[in-house]
């Protein structure tokens, strides 16, 4: 199945049981929950052809939490549910070594990897990288709606990473959740256009 993947990159991802249970999550957790919600959930259904991944660390060593729409179960679109499963996934990640992965019973995939290995594993047909430099941006009508869409929330300097040198630049909205929403809406609109 062809899928649209979103990868949102953070430097730090702090999550703990007390914050999750009290509903007072730290900003990166709140943004991550919104990315999963906006990326996967439709009114009354889920986008089966979309996967949202949250990465923390750096391109050379990161923890990745992936929410694949095609196999995800028992996750609700609210912040409390998503943050609870992010917390569970983070506990699993603490016991993984670089190059290892684990799949939670509800379908969330937890990995310790580096960007180059992850890209080779996913093997996306096209790669898009958010940027705020409008002089390098392609028009949305020229994008392929399946591939890998990356938003650098942590200032990783991804445009300088060799494996992303050929990535197509897209306008990076002021927030990753907005970026995901715009790409999904653009894909929905393109599907409705007459051929």
In the chain (195 residues long), the average pLDDT of successive 10-residue segments reads: 91 90 92 96 88 96 97 92 96 96 97 96 93 65 83 88 89 89 87 56
User: What's residue 137's pLDDT?
Assistant: 64
Q: What is the pLDDT of residue 135?
A: 60
- pLDDT for position 195: 46
**What pLDDT does 119 receive?**
95
Contact status, residue 179 vs residue 131, Cβ threshold 8 Å: no
For the entire predicted model, the pTM comes to 0.93
Domains of the chain: 4-192 (3.40.1280.10)
Nearest to 35 by CA among 21, 53, 19, 12: 53
C-alpha–C-alpha distance, residues 86 and 90, integer Å: 6
Q: Which two tokens stand for residue 27?
A: 């900003």
Identify the pLDDT of residue 128. 93
The pLDDT assigned to 171 comes to 82
């Amino acid at each position: 199945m062809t899928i649209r993947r979103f990868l949102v990159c953070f430097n730090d991802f702090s999550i703990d049981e007390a914050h999750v249970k009290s509903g007072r999550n730290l900003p990166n957790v709140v943004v991550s929950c919104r990315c999963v919600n906006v990326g996967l959930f439709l009114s009354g259904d889920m986008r089966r052809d979309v996967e949202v991944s949250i990465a923390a660390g750096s391109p050379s060593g990161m923890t990745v939490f992936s929410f694949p729409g095609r196999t995800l179960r028992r996750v609700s679109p609210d912040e409390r549910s998503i943050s609870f499963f992010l917390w569970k996934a983070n506990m699993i990640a603490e016991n993984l070594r670089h190059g290892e992965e684990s799949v939670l019973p509800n379908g969330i995939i937890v990995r310790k990897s580096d960007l180059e290995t992850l890209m080779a594993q996913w093997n996306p047909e096209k790669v898009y990288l958010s940027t705020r430099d409008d002089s390098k941006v392609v028009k949305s009508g020229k994008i392929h709606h399946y591939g890998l869409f990356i938003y650098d929330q942590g200032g990783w300097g991804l445009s300088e990473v060799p494996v992303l040198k050929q990535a197509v630049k897209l306008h990076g909205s002021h927030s990753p959740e907005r970026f995901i929403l715009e790409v999904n809406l653009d894909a929905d609109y393109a599907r409705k256009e007459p051929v």
